[in-house]
Amino acid sequence: PYLGVLPLVDEVNPTFTWSDEDLAALDGSPVVAATKSMQMKLQREYDDLLGGKGKLCDLYPDYFPREHFTYKNWVWAFTMLFSRAIRLRNLKNGEALALVPYADLINHSPYSQAYLDAREKGDWLFKTGTEEVVLYADRSYRKMEQIYISYGPKSNADLLLLYGFALERNPFNS
């Protein structure tokens, strides 16, 4: 069910999915070189793992059928990973990236100190052994007020490359 509600690549629109023609509108911006590098990296990783001659799609076609393991689907998967994954630092078994339903809908503000992380369920005395994802708010919020988290100290070039948006006032632009 969760995968079924994830957006299409065009709805996220990170620059690494743009055509050369679209990218030309940003000539002179550092995002162009970063985008070209990301595009080459994604193609190379796809070819090295799945799509190249003698790789997984050739070696194990029953498990990796080419009609499902296409480059287009590879780009969609990376778009979802880059734009939606959350780094959980306090897991019992160490740090991990996770797709967390609903938490991936929280928008970015470079000024927010709110964050998401994992913790063990239970109170200070009785822990259940299971873990949960928690939003740690940076202040009190009114009912129906939007909560933001920071995706990190990212310039508009980084935000465009990975998330498909830029901010009008971004303190991390040089």
Give me the pLDDT at residue 124, please: 65
From the candidates 46, 63, 141, 151, give the one annotated as an active-site residue. Answer: 151
- For 32-48, what is the mean pLDDT? 96
Q: Place 126 in a pLDDT band, splitting at 50, 70 and 90.
A: confident
Give me the pLDDT at residue 47, please: 96
Q: Place 130 in a pLDDT band, splitting at 50, 70 and 90.
A: confident
Give me the pLDDT at residue 120, please: 81
Which of 37-46, 113-122, 152-161, 165-174 comes out lowest in average pLDDT? 113-122
Give me the pLDDT at residue 174, please: 66
Angle between helix 156-163 and 30-46 (nearest 10): 30
SS3 letters across 90-141: CCCCCCEEECCCCHHHCEECCCCCCEEEEEEEECCCCEEEEEEEEEECCCCC
Q: Place 90 in a pLDDT band, splitting at 50, 70 and 90.
A: confident
CA 106 to chain centre: 12
Q: What is d(CA 64, CA 121) in angstroms, rounded to the nearest whole number?
A: 37
Angle between helix 71-84 and 30-46 (nearest 10): 130
Give me the pLDDT at residue 25, please: 95
Q: What is d(CA 156, CA 174) in angstroms, rounded to the nearest whole number?
A: 10
Q: Give the chain's mean pLDDT.
A: 92
Classify residue 29 as exposed, middle or buried by CB count within 10 Å of its CB (0-12, 13-18, 19+): middle
- Is 151 annotated as catalytic? yes
- For 138-156, what is the mean pLDDT? 94
- For 73-85, what is the mean pLDDT? 95
pLDDT above 70 as % of the chain: 96
The dihedrals phi and psi of 55, each to the nearest 5 degrees, come to -95, -170
Concatenated DSSP letters of 58-72: HH-TTTS-TTTS-HH
Q: Place 125 in a pLDDT band, splitting at 50, 70 and 90.
A: confident
DSSP letter for 24, please: G
pTM for this model (two decimals) = 0.86
85: part of which helix (H) or strand (E)? none
How many other CB atoms are found less than 10 A from the CB of residue 163? 20
Strands 148-149 and 127-136: unpaired
Residue 91 has pLDDT above 80, yes or no: yes
The angle at the Cα of 19, spanning 40 to 103, to the nearest 5 degrees, equals 80
